[in-house]
Structure formats: structure tokens, C-alpha cells
Amino acid sequence: MPKHVGVKLSWHERLLLLSFFFFALASPIFFLFTNTFLWKESASPTAMIMYNGGIYSGLIFGFIANRTLLLRVSAHVLYRISCILQGIVPLFLIGFAPRGTVNIVGLGLCFGFSAGLYFANRNFFTSLITQGKHRFAFLSLDQALATVSGVCIPVVVGWYLTFAQTTQHIPTITAYLHAAIFGFVLLFVSAIFFRVPDDVPQHTPRRVFVAHASRRWNAVRLMDFIGGLAHGVFMTIPLVVALTVLSTEVSIGKLQSGATIIGALSIYLVGKYRSKIPHGTLLGVWLLCSTIAGGLVAYVFSTWSVIISAILMGAVGPLYRTSTAHLMYEAVDRESNDDRASYLLDREIFLDGGRVIALIGCGYALLFSFDFTLRYGYLCASVVNAALLIAALRVSRYLRTA
């Protein structure tokens, strides 16, 4: 842990991080291995893209519904309920193994809706509790814990799933169901550890879109929309490439863990020396490394190029996620006054809109030219990454000159 972080974090900030940590432990099960389950069931990326498209569409509805629910239920309770709901949907997905488009998209919408409730309240508490100069340290530590949590879980769960399939002692669906139950328990623990100060005000977003947005907030909207495009591409193409090249869940788990080890180290160092490193430099390193990773896969499409590229992307991924999150929260502080939740809701719509558009684009690209998209997908996405860098630098400039 960076030294300055340990001194400045309050008791409630540490409990908040602990809750986030257990949530992060469950995330590989509900995202990585849920997608591998859909791949195993359908042997094509179509079901994965439909499910994830449902998730990111449901996120928007969850954020909007949170406004109404907050009139009757406190944010603390909604946070805990949404944790548990996110563990229930994958149990239905694996238990019933749906094949129809309506069923798959419907389950994705349900998961996304509960995730929308979760992140609406999580983002609000993070924005409110972490105000101050040490916010980047908090966010970098959160990202480091999230990456560390992804080291053991993918390997252990991947090994268990592969063991079940090779030995045939446990049916494959039963093994996946065991993993989902384990993830549900982790989310339940995350809900238990969640604590915030008693004097934190209740938040109720007053509107969906912010009216008369400033030039600075429009710059944040653009940054988040492009960030959503980038996230949609990089959570789809690399996973499909790994599922195509690597044959077993344990191999995919090891790849995920290796990437997160490097990512945890990088974000630890950034959190420690952030005051000496501007956002532009961090995002520039991310753009350069992601372009190299995409170029490597395009030039030599092999198991080793995929592994090296995944590790490289894992090392720099936390840099852009932490930098853009920090810029967004700083802009919310400047813009929101007493309406912080409305700004968080507004930016989420643009972020998830970008994710959905990217998923649709990836789906069509894989449908019409599967091999070309696998080989050149992430290299072509460098254009989106460059646009994100420009948009983030614009937000950073507005924050400096305000």
C-alpha cells in the first residue's frame, strides 16, 4: 500500500474499500466465466454479445430506476440489495442454460439492472466520501485491490471447471453452478462489510440528463462515451480471441491472473507517485502499449502473441481506468453543487451508451468477418483509444483552468 494512502484513509474509506474488494473477488466469476459458459453452450460469440449488450442496456435502466427507489428506500439498503441481486441472476443463467435470444438478453438486462442500482449508489458514496487531494490514491488502491483480487480467483475457478470436465466426476453445468454459488457468497460478504458515515446525506437524482451543461461537463460526456466505446471493444475482442486460441478454462484463468499481477504492480506504483505523473502521460502510456499489443496480435496471430498482448494490456488497463475515473469525479465536484447524483446518472448514460454501441459493432464485425476481426480488432480500436486520450486531455485542461 502506498505510504500516504495508509495515513489518510479514514475508517469508513477502508470499509468501503473492503466491500469493493469482495465485490471484485466475485467479478471474474460473473463476467469472465459467465462468458465462457455461454461460449461453451453456443460455440459462438453471438450469445456472449447479446448477454453483455443486455447488461449494459440494463445498467442504464438501473441507474434511472434508482431515482424512484430512493424515494422509498435508503441508498445504504439499495447498495446491499443490489449486491445480492447480482449474485442471483448468474445462478438462473447457469441453472437453466437458456438458448433463446429473448431469454439470454432478458437475463442480461436483469443482471445489468441490478448492477445499475449497485454502481449508482457505489459511485455516489465514492464521490462523496473521497473528496480531497487523496482521491487518486483511493481510486488507485481500489483499482490495485480489484486487480489483485483477480489473480487467484480466475486460476482456482478455471482449474476447478477444467478438472470437472476432464475427470467427468462433476457435470460441467454443476461445476459452473458451484462457481456461481461461490460468487454469490462473496457478494453477500461485500454487502455485509458496506458501511458509510451516519451523516452522509440521502441522494435523489433530480433529472436524467443535466440541463444546460457547461463546456466542461460536455467534455466529460464525450470522454465517458468514447471510454464506453473502448471498454466495449476491449471486453469483447480480447476475450473472444482467448476463447478461440486457448482451449480450457484453466488456461484462460491463468492468462487473466498473469495480466492482473502486472496490472496490480503498475497501479501500485502509479498510486504512490501520481503527483509526479500527469494524466496525459498515464493515458499516453496506455495508448502506446495497447497499440503495440494490437499490432503484435495482428502481425503474429498465435498463442504466445495473445498471451503477451493480454499481459501487456493487463499492465496498462488500470492506468486509463483510474485516470478517467479521477477526472470524472473531479468534474462532478466542480459541477454538481448539491446535485451530485444527477451528474453521476448523466455520465453513466453516455458511458453505457458507448458500451452498447461498441458491442453491436463488434457483433456485426465478428458475424461478417470473424477471422479478420479477431486478428485486427484491437489494432483498429487504437483509433478509439487515441480519441479517448484527446477527450481526457480536454477534460484535464478544463479542470486546470477552472
User: pLDDT at residue 254 above 60?
Assistant: no
Q: Worst-scoring range by mean pLDDT, 68-72, 116-120, 258-262?
A: 258-262
Can you tell me the distance from the alpha carbon of 385 to that of 227, in angstroms, rounded to the nearest whole number?
Answer: 8
Q: Are 286 and 298 in contact (CB under 8 A)?
A: no
260: confidence class by pLDDT, cuts 50, 70, 90: low
| Cα gap 326→141, rounded to integer Å | 12
Nearest to 329 by CA among 354, 314, 348, 352: 348
**Interatomic CA distance for residues 106 and 195, integer angstroms:** 32
Residue tagged 465485490 (cell numbers): 23
* Contact in structure between 116 and 66 (CB atoms under 8 Å): yes
Query: Amino acid identity of 39?
Result: W
The contacts of residue 131 (CB under 8 Å, 6+ apart) are 333
What is the signed CA dihedral for 226, 230, 233, 239, rounded to 10 degrees? Answer: -160
Extents of the domains making up the chain:
3-193+213-401
What is the four-CA torsion angle of 230, 263, 85, 209, rounded to 10 degrees? Answer: -40
Cβ(119)–Cβ(63) under 8 Å?
yes
Cβ–Cβ < 8 Å for 207, 272: no
Task: Quickly tell me which residue has 495482428 as its cell.
Answer: 298
Q: Which of 279, 322, 325 is nearest to 140 (CA)?
A: 322
Residue spans of alpha helices (H) in 70-195: 75-96, 101-129, 135-167, 172-193
Q: 191 near 84, Cβ under 8 Å? A: yes
Alpha-carbon distance 62 to 353, whole Å? 14
* Mean pLDDT value of segment 245-265: 53
Torsion sign over Cα 90, 81, 57, 329:
negative
Report how far apart, in Å, the C-alpha atoms of 252 and of each of 156, 227, 310 are. 11, 25, 10
CB-CB contact of 282 with 335 (8 Å): no
With beta carbons less than 8 A apart as the criterion, state whether 157 and 28 touch.
yes
Question: Is 3-193+213-401 a CATH 1.20.1250.20 domain?
Answer: yes
What is the reported pTM? Answer: 0.78
More confident residue, 353 or 317: 353
pLDDT at 164: 75
Q: Residue 131 gets which letter from DSSP?
A: -
Q: One-letter amino acid identity for 292?
A: I
Residue owning grid cell 492506468: 319
pLDDT value of position 330:
87
User: Phi and psi of 200, rounded to 5°?
Assistant: -65, 125
Distance between CA atoms of residues 10 and 81, nearest Å? 25
d(CA 388, CA 402): 21
Q: How far apart are CA 33 and CA 56, in angstroms?
A: 18
pLDDT digits (tens, 9 = 90+) for 329-341: 888 888 877 677 7
Q: Between these two residues, 254 and 347, which has the higher pLDDT value?
A: 347
By percentage, how much of the chain surpasses pLDDT 70?
83
> Residues of the chain with pLDDT > 90: what percent?
12
Q: The C-alpha cell of 249 is what?
A: 478454462
The Cα–Cα gap between 320 and 317 comes to: 6
Q: Decide: 207 and 333 in contact? Cβ < 8 Å.
A: no
Residue 320 has pLDDT above 60, yes or no: yes
Mean pLDDT of the chain: 79
Report pLDDT digits (tens) over 131-161.
666 677 777 778 777 777 766 777 777 777 7
Does residue 59 carry a pLDDT above 80? yes
Question: Is 71 within 8 Å of 204 (Cβ atoms)?
Answer: yes
